[in-house]
Chain A
Amino acid sequence: MIRSLSIPERQVALALSVALALLGLAMAAAARHGAMAVHGAMAMALGLALLFALGGALYDPDAPADRARRYYDEPTRFGIVMTLCWALIGMGVGVWVAALLYWPEATPPWPATSFGRLRPVHTTSVIFGFGGNALIATSFHVLQRTSRARLADAISPWMVLIGFNLFCAWAVTGYLMGSTQSKEYAEAEWYADIWLVVIWVTYFVLYLRTLARRAEPHIYVANWYYMAFILVVAMLHIVNNIALPVSLAGAKSFTIWAGVQDAMVQWWYGHNAVAFFLTAGFLGMLYYFLPVRSGRPIWSYRLSIVSFWGIVFFYIWVGSHHLHYTALPYWVQTLGMTFSVMLLVPSWASAGNAIATLNGAWHKVRDDATLRFMFVAAVFYGLSTFEGSFLAIRPVNSLSHYTDWTVGHVHSGTLGWVAMIIFGAIYTLVPQLWGRETMAWPRAVEWHFWLAVTGTLIYVVSMWNAGITQGLMWRTYDANGALSYSFLQSVQAMAPYYLLRTIGGALFLTGAVICALNCRATMRAASEGATATDRPLAPQPAE
């Protein structure tokens, strides 16, 4: 990692590490106790660790002279390792909290391990830790290959990756200490939010600078999606997280939004985090890795244009479908519902385009578990977007909202679509970037695939049953016009589904563990063998 930096770059990185350590020291000294002090100490420890690592290697041999004629893959490799680490943390916590709903007595008597604090640890670890690292790592890879150009500089990719992982670590440790904004999927406190903005701007500038060096006249469709992901997530993150800290020396802050306005801003953010974090970015991944792995060009160029702009334009309207029948103005709910239904067109155009791309390569889908991961991802993308449009229809939502059906829907998207496409990309990238023909244990990929599919199906089907049962029990009246079931009776009815859900999640987690071990074995047997064709088109002048 340090060997890939030139000596002047190492000096700049050293200065940045000192700055990070000082920032951490300032935070810890100002706050003195509480979450912000711990987070300051974490930043300081990270800054010092980087400082020692860089200082020790400052005058080691310089970066290879021909590095400008190669792609810069070290950040992608680091990102993949972090993706796997967060997958194990996030999915592990997910299975644990799922089990707590079945065995609530198993909750240890400590505040940090309570369900309410662990739940955002699960969501943040899987969405930002697992999903975010995968997006950043693959975006660097795809950006370089489709532009035929090396990343614009050697330091900012590391700032993006290390800074982003510090954000994730701050967020999840904050929840354990009880520090949270309570905004779903945006729970991290104000200083972490500001930090993420800095990281994100660095990321976007790096993206544009690398695009500016491209040796291909056209910007490939995968990059449109990655750019939409970076830009719109920035917009959502900033607006939703505007808050007034109680003190600059403490973690606590109050959002400037109140009541119904806050609800609208929150779900405009919340649903578009799904749209632009969990969909747009991963469609970028799909548009690159599916054609590469199957050896087939994207089926329709026009359809990819229509679906891209359709997704960017329609998605932003739909957040209000989270607030049907609430105190939000009725017309906003109706707009959200209408656009949710219309969104099915560009969503299915993308899913259809992906599946049609496999025409002529179906034998590969049969034989290659990696390509099968991507195929199943496209199928679940189509299913989840159909389900999403359906659940957004007001009368359907009256039954499904507040129930486990929503949880099932989200997991059909995240397990079936997002995680599957990530695993497909990982199994494609790991052998390539560590200089091997195949994964160390090709058979284990097959095992992982079937564990993942089985786990997802058990999870989703049990949550459908749970949600519909709950929804019906809550609204059933007896002949006398009284409600038939108490709330507790509906809780009791959930027990078998919560157990099944835990089993489904555990199967999925088992697959992820196999994946991590397989990747570790592959990485350990790495060889330096960059292929002759996998390099930038025109050597760039020295940086």
Chain B
Amino acid sequence: MLRLHYNLEKLSMGLVVGIIVAASIGGAVEIAPLFTIDETVAIPDDLRPQTPLELAGREIFIREGCYACHSQMVRHLADEIDRYGPYSLAAESAYDHPMLWGSKRTGPDLARLGGKYSDAWHVAHLINPRAVAPTSIMPAYPWLTARLDTDILSAELATLALLGVPYSEDMVANAGRDALAQSRPDSDGAANVTERYGETVAIRAFDGDTSRLTEMDALVAYLQSLGTLTRAAYETLGQEAAR
């Protein structure tokens, strides 16, 4: 063996090939089976993709680096289920490019955040976290009151559709209009949002002001959608409890 290596050290290409082979095996074994994901992870019937407004909120969540302090992955441990809710299923993030499971909880997990607090609480909390939670160490985000740019949304939905997220041509074409309509329950377009994305979509002025579509609208719509895109996790946990 040592003799073999003694000779290998004289060949730069020999080392190169050796390194590539040795460093490829582990990745191939662990990643390749995940390409059969379509067969192994059942997509729940009720799983819906995010609405354009929620997607815009997700982009703001990413832009501000929220994922650095907030995970979105409830592990199947008793205390996490008691604290946050049902543990996360692979299917729940099947449409997430990229996933936002996170790696650190400087703040709490957000996977089950949707519906936990009111819109007004979220708005007050994002403008100044210490106004509603005096001991919070979260930074304030006063600039989220800026107008939301919806121009890029159609192109974003089209890109995601190419990657396999079930956005129809209709959804892609109307992305900007749907984003506006989701924050205006009395507008003509509101019914279209329900028609396209389902009854479970929340349609309201998330920042409390119907006259302007803001980044705050988008981010709060996103936060309120977390954990509500499918009921599968609740049903799985219910079945396990029943057993």
Contacts and interface: CB of A to CB of B under 8 A. Distances in A.
Interface of A: 100-102, 104-105, 107, 109-111, 114-117, 119-120, 175, 178-184, 208, 211-212, 217-219, 224, 227-228, 231-232, 235, 239, 244-247, 250, 252-266, 268, 276, 302, 305, 309, 312-320, 322-329, 332, 335-336, 339, 398, 401-403, 406-407, 470, 474-475, 477, 483, 487-488, 491-492
A268 B93 contact: no
Given A259-B95, A336-B30, A313 B25 contact: yes
- Of the candidates A175, A246, A250, the one having the most CB atoms from chain B within 10 angstroms of its own CB is A246
A419 to B, nearest CB: 21
Nearest to A247: B155
Contact of B99 (A208, A260, A313): A260
Contact of B26 (A120, A182, A262, A317): A317
9 contacts: A104-B137, A109-B140, A109-B143, A181-B98, A183-B98, A208-B13, A247-B152, A259-B41, A268-B27
A244 B159 contact: yes
- Of the candidates A120, A212, A326, A483, the one having the most CB atoms from chain B within 10 angstroms of its own CB is A326
Given A224-B9, A326-B73, 19 more contacts: A104-B137, A175-B65, A178-B63, A218-B9, A244-B163, A245-B159, A255-B97, A256-B97, A258-B95, A260-B94, A268-B30, A276-B23, A313-B25, A316-B23, A317-B30, A318-B26, A322-B103, A326-B75, A488-B133
A109 B160 CA distance: 33
Contacts of A217: 10
B90 A327 contact: yes
Secondary structure class of chain A's binding surface, majority of residues: helix
Interface string B11-47: 0110110111011111101110111010011000000
Nearest to A320: B30
Top 9 nearest A-B pairs (CB, nearest first) are A116-B65, A317-B26, A316-B26, A325-B75, A327-B90, A178-B63, A259-B93, A402-B105, A475-B79
Given A246-B159, A257-B98, A258-B99, A114 B141 contact: yes
A261 B164 CA distance: 14
B192 to A, nearest CB: 23
Contacts of A212: 12
A183 to B, nearest CB: 6
Interface of B: 2, 5-6, 9-10, 12-13, 15-16, 18-20, 22-27, 29-31, 33-35, 37, 40-41, 59, 62-69, 71, 73, 75-77, 79-80, 82-83, 87-109, 129-130, 133, 135-143, 152, 155-156, 159-160, 162-165
Given A120-B65, A180-B65, A101 B137 contact: yes
A250 B2 contact: no
B152 A250 contact: yes
B238 to A, nearest CB: 18
A491 B155 CA distance: 40
Contact of A219 (B9, B63, B106): B9
Contact of B82 (A245, A302, A470, A483): A483
